[in-house]
Amino acid sequence: MVTNPYEVLDLFLRKNKYYFNKRELQLQLEAHPNYPSVRSFTDILDFYRVEHIAATVPEESFDQLPNRWLAVVSPKGFRQIALVERQVDRVNLASEDGRMVLSNAEFIKQWEGVILAVEPNENTSSTWRNSSITSILGILLLLCLGGSLWIQGMGWPQMLYTLLSGLGLYFTILVLKAELGFQSAVTDKWCQINSATDCTEVITSKGSRLPMNVSLGDVALIFFLLTICTTVFIAAPAALFFPLAVASLPVVLYTFLYQWKEVKKWCTLCLGISAVLLSQFLVLYLADRSVEVFASTYLAVVALFLLLSIGWQYAKSLIREHQGFKKEAMEYSSFKKEADSFTPLLQAQRQFELSNMDHGSALIMGNPNAKFKLYAVTNPSCTHCRPTFLGYQKLLERYGDRISLILRFNISLEDSSSPTLHIAAHTVAIYKNLGPAKALKALAEWFQDQDFEAWQSKFSQPLETGAINILQQHRDWCNAQGLIFTPVSILNEHLLPPYYNMEDIYYLLEDFLPRLSTTTTEVEEVAA
């Protein structure tokens, strides 16, 4: 069930085949200073590089809208974000109020005309490839387990029991991924069969927790690993686990009744684990259990159980600790994105007198008459310049009509065969011959790939002595300003604070610029 705005966004992205860590998505969204406005949603989509459009449309255009989008609705007098899935004569709505089905007329009455839409992700090859590799590795693991047992001369009950443990382990890993907030296409396929299935709601509910904050997923993981390691590596008979198989029956019954009566949702992964446990019970019940088990085997199994328990608790604590660090990083990021926090920090930095300076030799990109000016110094061979320059490119892509990028190179001119000199000189030539847009594209491709021969074959230009003279003027200007290292970013005559980067500036410009190029005024004013 959807209960928070970030869950609406997560559901919307997954339905469009975009898969991100759910916990990270929540932290990113809640850390936004304008959460839960439409602006916070569009900024997060920008952060994850998801192409989108936010607009206000008239009611008469409703039939022309896509089948799935986010809307701002006011069902009970307060605004909220809702996932809209449009059918022929009705609308399926998912919001903080839950899921409901409305007629088109009923929906339009509470809809404020704001939409946020994305293109479905068609580039799922990497997701498909990762899930396929995982599936292949899982099959190979089962084959290896079966082959090992066959070589050891184990009978069919032992082999079948171990293979079932491998299948149960697969389901358990998916359960734990959902519990820890990791989304994937595989999990969605299992958990979104219909409206009655919701693995996350079942897995994260209170009924799935045991004393000492141990989850049923933790128990299942240790159990299946224990049975696999015991039968394969210790060569102990599977009949050893018959008492545990009997003890698992009440657990299976409890999980079934809990999902049916309490949560009223089904976790297909949990049902898969239950089916594996029932199958293992039947295998052991029908098999010959009159096998002598030595005390040393029991001790080895107990030692293995303790080792697995300690190992998983330590691994899980590391995962939780990592998530905690990410949460702190998100909170710090939220502070950095506050314009009220950034302004005094910027003004406390060194100030340059640049507004009345002649910048004739600089490479000026964007709007040369813009009030917001970003003075930049870069070097093609500088490692730290790569993310900074790509950040410049991203700023110009969105705010190119609102900002001016005044770019200079700070490079050595002594070695005429240096690739760094050639890239800078050819970029200056491209700027002079083909214009700022081509120069920006060429330099961005260099920082993206950093393949000198490929770059030279694609962007090489006839060079004149003027290009070298311009680079000398760039260097002289840097020396005059006392700028030795690169990259350097100066915002409206103040040096950028060292703990800020272009990704931060990308969001801060929302408050510095009077008008945005990608959203309308109406959308900016809407708050969920």
CATH code of the domain covering residue 301: 1.20.1440.130
- What does the pLDDT look like over 436-479, one tens digit per residue? 999 999 999 999 988 888 998 888 877 767 888 999 999 999 99
Banded model confidence at residue 423, pLDDT cuts 50, 70, 90: very high
Nearest to 491 by CA among 384, 390, 345: 345
For 253, the token pair is 């019954």
290 located within any domain: yes
Residues 306 and 166 in one domain: yes
Q: Residue 373: which H helix or E strand, with range?
A: strand 372-378
**CA–CA distances in Å: residue 130 to residues 10, 291, 478:** 20, 42, 47
Banded model confidence at residue 412, pLDDT cuts 50, 70, 90: confident
| Mean pLDDT of all residues in 492-519 | 73
Q: What single-letter amino acid sits at 448?
A: Q
| Mean pLDDT of all residues in 19-42 | 77
φ/ψ of residue 205, rounded to 5: -75, 165
Q: Which residues does residue 373 pair with via DSSP β-bridges, in sequence order?
A: 404
Residues 446 and 467 in one domain: yes
Domain boundary among 296, 327, 358: 327
Domain that holds residue 481: 349-496
Residues 114 and 137 in one domain: no
183 located within any domain: yes
- Range name among 121-130, 146-155, 166-175, 203-212 with the lowest pLDDT average: 121-130
Residues 355 and 271 in one domain: no
Nearest to 174 by CA among 151, 150, 200: 200
- What does the pLDDT look like over 46-68, one tens digit per residue? 777 788 888 888 888 888 888 89
**CA–CA distances in Å: residue 175 to residues 185, 218, 316, 493:** 13, 9, 14, 53
Banded model confidence at residue 123, pLDDT cuts 50, 70, 90: low
Domain boundary among 118, 137, 172: 118
- Range name among 81-90, 138-147, 170-179, 517-526 with the lowest pLDDT average: 517-526
Residues 98 and 130 in one domain: no
Q: Which residues does residue 71 pair with via DSSP β-bridges, in sequence order?
A: 82, 115
Residues 145 and 174 in one domain: yes
Does the pLDDT of residue 398 top 60, yes or no? yes
Does the pLDDT of residue 111 top 70, yes or no? yes
237 located within any domain: yes
Residues 107 and 191 in one domain: no
- Range name among 24-38, 82-96, 163-177 with the lowest pLDDT average: 24-38
Residues 283 and 388 in one domain: no
CB 145 within 8 A of CB 163: yes
Does the pLDDT of residue 148 top 90, yes or no? no
CATH code of the domain covering residue 374: 3.40.30.10
172 located within any domain: yes
Select the more confidently predicted residue: 25 or 42. Answer: 42
162 located within any domain: yes
335 located within any domain: no
Q: Which residues contact 337 (CB under 8 A, 6 or more apart)?
A: 31, 32, 33, 504, 507, 508
Q: Which residues contact 215 (CB under 8 A, 6 or more apart)?
A: 179, 203, 208, 209
What's the mean per-residue pLDDT of the chain? 83
516 located within any domain: no
Residues 369 and 412 in one domain: yes
Distance CA 453, CA 190 (A): 47
φ/ψ of residue 27, rounded to 5: -65, -40
Distance CA 489, CA 352 (A): 11
Residues 204 and 323 in one domain: yes
- Range name among 153-162, 216-225, 386-395, 429-438 with the lowest pLDDT average: 153-162
339 located within any domain: no
The pLDDT assigned to 321 comes to 85
CATH code of the domain covering residue 80: 3.90.70.10
Residues 100 and 182 in one domain: no
CB 70 within 8 A of CB 117: yes
Distance CA 133, CA 330 (A): 31
For 438, the token pair is 């081509």
The pLDDT assigned to 488 comes to 93
Nearest-5° Cα angle at 96, 90 to 101: 15
Residues 135 and 69 in one domain: no
- Structural domain count, the chain: 3
CB 340 within 8 A of CB 370: no
* Beta-strand relationship, 209-210 and 80-86: unpaired
Select the more confidently predicted residue: 121 or 154. Answer: 121
DSSP 296-321: HHHHHHHHHHHHHHHHHHHHHHHHHH
Domain boundary among 69, 84, 118: 118
